[in-house]
Each structure stands twice: as C-alpha cells, then as structure tokens.
Amino acid sequence: MLMQHQSEKAKTDILKFLPQLRPDVEYKEHVIRLPFLNSPFFSHKGRPLVSKALREAGLTTLGGVCGRGGDCLFFDKNKTLTGLKRAGGVFKTKQILDLGMSITQGVEKSWRTLTSRGMLMQDDAVKFLLYQGAKSTSLPQIKTKVIYDILIQKLIKRPAAELRWAAIFPTKTVTSIWCNLAIPFLSHAVFNTDFKLRHRRYYSSIVLHQIHKLKFQRLCPVCGLEDEDFEHLILRCGALSGFKTYVCQFLKTGCGATAAQLAEWDWVWLFGLLRQGRGGITMQVNTLLSFARHAAVLRRNYALFENKKVNVKELFKNLLKAHTAACLQGGSVH
Ligand SMILES: [Zn+2]
C-alpha cells in the first residue's frame, strides 16, 4: 500500500516537474485512452483527481467513464455508477459526480476540438512528447540526461539572498559566497552568524519596527544616526567603520594579507577570500573575518535587545582568545 502510494506520488511529482511532457493526442481515440487520475489536465479545486473506488473498479481512462454524445466526449454518470456497482466497491455518489464534472471540464478545456475527430487509427496508443520551447521530441528518443537536467533546473532554486547581493556587488560572482562558509573549528554560533548574514536572515530595525512599532525604532541602535536596513547593520553603520579598518589592518599585519587581496574590502569583509590552492593565508583570514562579523552582530544585538553598549574591538579580541584557548585545550586532549 505504501509502495503504491509512493509510486503515485512519484508520478504526480514528475508530472509537476515536467510540464513540458504532454501526450501526443491527435484523435478522439487517443483522448479516450488517456488516464485522468493524477493527471495535470484534470483537477478539482486545484488538486489532481484521486479516487480509490474508480481505480479499484478499473475505471481509470476517459473511455471508461465517458460517453459520446454527437461530437462531444463527456462524463457519463450512468455508465460510471453502473461500472462502480458492478465492481462491488464502496463509493460516495456525490464525490464521483464532482469528479465527473472536472473530467468533462478537463476534456472541454484541453481536447474539445479533437474529440470531434473520430478517425480510428490502427496504432492508437497514446505517445508522449517532451516540449522544450517550440521543439518537441518523442519520449522514447529522450536521453536520461535531458530528463535529469530538467529536473535539476526545476528543483534547484537560486537562494533569494543571491539576487540582492548581486545587485550590491554587480561585478562579483555571487555564487562564490557559499564556497567558504563552512570553516573548520568554528563554533556553531559563529557559523550561524555567517550563515544568517549570507542568507540576509537578520531582521533590521526597519523591519522590526514594522512588526512591532512600540518596541522597536527604525533607528540604528548602535550609531543612533541613521535608519538601520540590512546593509547598514553589517556594512555601512558609521560606528562599524573604525572596527572594519582595524580588522583590515589586523589582516595585513597579523596574517600578511596583501593590499591587492583586500582591495574590494566590503566584499572581503562580508564573504572572505576565495581559497586558491593549498596552504596560504585564506583560512586564517576567513576565520578572523568570521569572528569580526560575529562580534559586530553581537555588539548590535546587545544594543538592540539589552540596551547595552559594548566595545566591539574588545569583544572581537575576547572571542579570539576564547577560540584559541579552546583549540589549544582540544589539541592537548587529543
Ligand atoms: Zn548605525
């Protein structure tokens, strides 16, 4: 039962992800052979048609439940109910009639002109075509790779934050911001800050004010001079500029980062350096930057939620000290 349910789900998933896949329907004989359960061409209140009773009675194609009046193909109530009674299953007449209405509407919408063409073909099995733009290919001729490529395109969505970052840094390849996210040995809290920053998941004061006007002001809780949007929070706040300069200097003198490496400082401050080859200073620089951003966010959160003023440089140094101590402790234990 579970297997059947899973295979039904897989079928509807594939139909959902492959709207380009359509039956090659030319004649009425093709139409009456079409299945209507879980088909994207038939729906009731926006959902695919499902009926255990019809399935068990073997009434799953349009031919099984439709009658032909003149040129039209329509749901035949008497034929369907007689078929269901003969099969001996349990069913609710109203549900079947609702479903029937959706079937008639589906046929009308998709194949009205074709159902009047009743020419009987010798080979009247329904074939499927895959539409890619204007081009269509018969399903047996499609290579598996093409199907996988389409599924991948449908399933993988670009993170919403990337679009915003791309607008701020138009010359940079924003997909690279995910490359150096997972730095070894960093605490979960530090990783979490970076993860949320890259996904732009911090509520700025402007947003918080919209949510709770009495509790939050739009004004930046740190500098108190400008409204705090997301970029202000981590990039543009006046109270952050001195600290950013200090960190930049620290990376040059402490790690040997070159001026060229730090040239696009706002970008590096947010996303670090891309690793080039083995060794080098990339890991060191990125680790320090993660702590610096974490300190900046902590300082802002202290000001916002606890009304506390904290020296961000001291906070940064303390975080580094605690990290170094933890690493040394870890080293001596193992
Ligand atoms: Zn500010």
* Residues 201-256: tens digit of each pLDDT: 999 999 999 999 999 999 999 999 999 999 999 999 999 999 999 999 999 999 89
Helix extents (H) in 18-76: 28-32, 52-56, 62-65
Report CA(215)–ligand 1 centroid distance (Å). Answer: 18
Distance CA 10, CA 2 (A): 12
Lookup: tokens for 169: 């840094």
Q: How far is the CA of 125 from the centre of ligand 1 (A)?
A: 69
Question: Which is nearest to 248 in space by CA: 304, 195, 313, 193?
Answer: 313
- How remote is the CA of residue 240 from the centroid of ligand 1, in Å? 7
Closest by Cα among 165, 164, 170, 195 to 180: 195
User: Per-residue confidence at 8, pLDDT binned at 50, 70, 90?
Assistant: low
Distance from Cα 257 to the centre of ligand 1, integer Å: 28
Give distance in angstroms: CA of 220 to centre of ligand 1: 5
- 221 CA distance to ligand 1 centroid (A)? 7
Long-range contacts, stretch 164-167, CB < 8 angstroms, 24+ apart: 164/200, 165/198, 165/200
Given this model, what pLDDT does residue 40 score? Answer: 76
Residue range 39-63: mean pLDDT, rounded: 86
- Report pLDDT for 43: 83
The position carrying tokens 């070159």 is 258
Contact of 217 with 209, CB cutoff 8 Å: yes
91 C-alpha to center of ligand 1: Å? 66
Q: What spacing in Å lies between the alpha carbon of 15 and ligand 1's midpoint?
A: 50
- How far, in whole angstroms, is CA 326 from its chain's centroid? 37
Helix (H), strand (E) counts: the chain: 15, 7
Neighbours of ion ligand 1 (CB under 5 A): 220, 222-223, 237
Residue 333 in this model has a pLDDT that exceeds 50: no
Radius of gyration over alpha carbons of the chain, in Å? 31
Full-model pTM: 0.58
Per residue in 105-143, pLDDT (tens digit) is 888 877 766 655 554 444 556 677 777 777 778 877 878
How remote is the CA of residue 308 from the centroid of ligand 1, in Å?
A: 15
Average the pLDDT over 16-37 and give the result.
Answer: 73
Determine the average pLDDT of the residues in 48-77: 85
| Per-domain residue ranges of the chain | 2-155, 161-333
| Strands 66-69 and 72-75, bridge-based pairing | antiparallel
- What gap in Å lies between CA 167 and CA 246, rounded to an integer? 27
In this structure, are residues 150 and 140 in contact, taking their beta carbons and an 8 Å threshold? no
Query: For residue 326, what are the contacts with CB-CB under 8 A and spacing of at least 6?
Result: 187
d(Cα 272, Cα 254) in Å, to the nearest integer? Answer: 16
Residue 131: which H helix or E strand, with range? strand 127-132
State in Å: Cα 99 to ligand 1 middle.
60
Q: What is the 256 CA–ligand 1 centroid distance (Å)? A: 30
Measure Cα distances from 172 to 60, 154, 158, 265 in Å: 54, 25, 16, 13
46 φψ region: left (φ > 0), alpha (ψ -120 to 50), beta (else): left
Distance 232 CA to ligand 1 centre (A): 6
Q: 180 alpha carbon to ligand 1 midpoint, in Å? A: 27
Distance 164 CA to ligand 1 centre (A): 20
- Nearest Cα neighbor of 261 from 284, 230, 235 is 284
In tens, the pLDDT along 288-328 reads 999 999 999 999 999 999 999 999 999 999 999 998 888 77
173 pLDDT exceeds 70? yes
**Residue 194 to residue 4: CA distance in whole angstroms:** 43
Lowest mean pLDDT among 62-66, 100-104, 183-187: 183-187
Given pLDDT bands bounded at 50, 70 and 90, which one contains residue 274?
A: confident
Distance linking the first and last C-alpha atoms of the chain? 51
Mean pLDDT of the chain: 84
- What pLDDT does residue 332 have? 40
CA distance 254 to 256: 6
Q: How many Å lie between the centroid of ligand 1 and the Cα of residue 252?
A: 26
Task: List all residues 6 or more positions away from 220 whose beta carbon is below 8 Å from its beta carbon.
Answer: 205, 226, 227, 228, 232, 233, 237, 239
Residues 6+ apart with CB under 8 A from 330: none
Q: What distance in angstroms lies between residue 318's CA and the mean position of ligand 1's atoms?
A: 23
Distance (angstroms) between ligand 1 centre and the Cα of 170 equals: 24
